Amino acid sequence: MRQHKPPMLVVWGKYDPSFAVAGAAIYQEMVPNAEVHILDAGHFALDEKLDEIASLIRGFLFRLPPSIAEGK
């Protein structure tokens, strides 16, 4: 990740008892352009914040350069 710096979306639950929020910062250190979102959610953030996460994913994919979005 540090070498290639791929487009990256990180969505993290602020109240996740299994993965500390500090873990999200590590992704941003490795990939400075990573898009990091800390949500008001727990470990099952997708269950708790489905619409918000779906919107983040759609926006992230929309902003990818066409060559990456098409897998080229």
Beta carbons of 17 and 44 less than 8 angstroms apart: no
**CB of 30 closer than 8 Å to CB of 2:** yes
Contact 62, 68 (CB under 8 A): no
Quote the tokens at residue 21: 């929020």
Angstrom distances, CA of residue 1 to CA of 29, 34, 39: 10, 11, 23
The pTM assigned to this predicted structure is 0.86
pLDDT in tens, 12-64: 999 999 999 999 999 999 999 999 999 999 999 999 999 999 999 999 999 99
pLDDT at residue 70 is higher than 80: no
